[in-house]
Amino acid sequence: MTEGVAHATSRILALCLLAMILSAADRTPVPWEKHRLLIGQALYRENCAVCHDIDRAQSKKTGPSFYQLFKRNKMPLGNLKPSREYIKVRVKFGGSLMPAFRQTLTDSEIDTLIDYIAAK
C-alpha cells in the first residue's frame, strides 16, 4: 500500500467513526436520561446526602432540604429563585458551614447533580 492510500484509508476510518458517534448521539433520549439521573443520584448520595435531605421537606440534617427545590419560588435560605447557576456556585465555593467542592467535583458532575435535584 502506498502512503497516499494508507492516508486516505485512515481518513475514511476516522469519518466512519465520527458518523458512528454522531448517530449514537442521535438516539440517546430516554435510557440515557435515566442513566444520567442515576449518576446524579450516586453523586448526591456520595457528596450531599449527609447534610441535605431530598426526599422530604422537613429535615433534621445540618443543611436545608432540597425536596422539590425547583418547584419552589425561593431557595430555602434567602429570597433567591432556585437556579442552576446559583446552585453551581454554592457547590463550587461552599458556605460558612458547607464544604467547597470545586476540587472534588468537575463542572459536568455538578451539572449532572443539579439535573438530579431538578428531577426531585
**Which of 10/83 has CB closer to ligand HEC?**
83
Q: How far is the CB of 37 from ligand HEC (least distance, A)?
A: 15
Give the span between the Cα atoms of 8 and 75, in whole angstroms: 57
Q: Which residues contact 55 (CB under 8 A, 6 or more apart)?
A: 67, 120
Residue nearest to ligand HEC (CB): 95
Per-residue contact string for residues 20-59; x = within reach of ligand HEC by CB under 6 A: ---------------------------xx-xxx-------
Looking at 77, 93, 100, 106, which residue binds ligand HEC (CB under 6 A)? 77
Give the span between the Cα atoms of 43 and 31, in whole angstroms: 18
68 binds ligand HEC (CB under 6 A): no
**Which of 24/42 has CB closer to ligand HEC?**
42
87 binds ligand HEC (CB under 6 A): yes
Tell me how crowded residue 17 is: count the other CB atoms within 10 A of its CB.
Answer: 10
Task: Give the CA dihedral 33, 116, 85, 76, nearest 10 degrees.
Answer: 160
| Cα 118–chain centre separation | 10
Question: Which residues contact ligand HEC (rule: CB under 6 A)?
Answer: 47-48, 50-52, 62-64, 75-78, 87, 90-91, 95-99, 101, 113
